[in-house]
Amino acid sequence: MDAQEIQDAAAGGTGHLLKLANARDRRAAEAAHAFGGAIARTGGVYTSRMRLRFTKMQGAGNDFVMLNGITQRVELTAEQVRRLADRRFGVGADQILLVEPAQGAGADFRYRIFNSDGGEVEQCGNGARCFVRFVRDQGLTDKQAIRVETLGGLIAPRMEASGEVTVDMGAPVVDPAAVPFDAQGLVAVRIGEDEAWPLLVHGRETLVSVLSMGNPHAVQVVPNVDDAPVTKDGPVIENHGRFPRRVNAGFMQVMDRQRIRLRVWERGAGETLACGTGACAAVVAGIRRGLLASPVEVETRGGRLTISWEGQGDPAQHPVRLTGPAATVFEGEIEI
């Protein structure tokens, strides 16, 4: 209520003032409803809430809340992202994935990725597989293959006849400065075509392959992933000062030349059951070290992924291809 309304209502007493206030509340709520949301009044302050339709999906156990930002208005704060991702008070997910119209020519959609900590990130391979199935299920396209804008660049997911999805993840970036990784004062250890960098973790040096799949990764080889210090070392590597944008920490066990086991501590999400870009990064590192040969089956705690890369020589000329499942778990509506 403004000052004039208060003056006009004064003669009517408190009851009239309350009627006016309630009418204002109703008008605010009606306006919000037109946008698929609501207005909550707390301590005299109006805050906007949204009613969102969502689809819960998973790719090899890496789970997502999918939001159609084309047929409904979606403007989320970091706090709302965290609430959606919360496994007790929200829907629960490793990442929130938002479909928006493409901003540039040559792309079908824009793909935005928010980690469970509320931060927006560049890339998610398992999410990209779910993305193409989602836009088809939503009737947004009937194409088998689409081109999608991400913060990490253009990617091309494609539905296979088998029901799995293959994503052209683009070429890996192995230049430390472009990852980005601060290598100043460090001396790399040459292993095959790879450079393994000594990273100080809990007072000891750990050799990691540093590369980007549209997002930064630090991959180390371990004897057994079951015993690897993922939850102890993962957070330290993620937030290490040499990675100005933080990093995903991969722990790879080589089983043979075409099979690995992998666990990943994801930046902003913690350990997940699978990480698509982490699987790509691990296979690229293994091939460059001479340990692996394409294609490589990657066994994660959530399922199996297949990575193909023919990038010996000049990595920048050869895209990485990720193939794996993408499934709908359930659909729903939430007010947040």
Residues with catalytic roles: 124, 275
Q: Which helix (H) or strand (E) holds 226?
A: none
User: 118 - beta bridge partners?
Assistant: none
Distance CA 191, CA 18 (A): 75
Cβ–Cβ < 8 Å for 199, 188: no
The residues, ordered by sequence, that sit 6+ positions from 195 with a Cβ below 8 Å of its Cβ are 174, 176, 188, 189, 209, 210
- Give me the phi and psi of 251, to 5 degrees please: -125, 110
Distance CA 145, CA 159 (A): 6
Distance CA 246, CA 222 (A): 21
Count of Cβ atoms closer than 10 Å to residue 172 Cβ: 25
- Matching residue, tokens 């081109």: 147
- Matching residue, tokens 């990720």: 322
The residues, ordered by sequence, that sit 6+ positions from 147 with a Cβ below 8 Å of its Cβ are 106, 107, 108, 154, 155, 156
DSSP secondary structure code for residue 174 in this structure = -
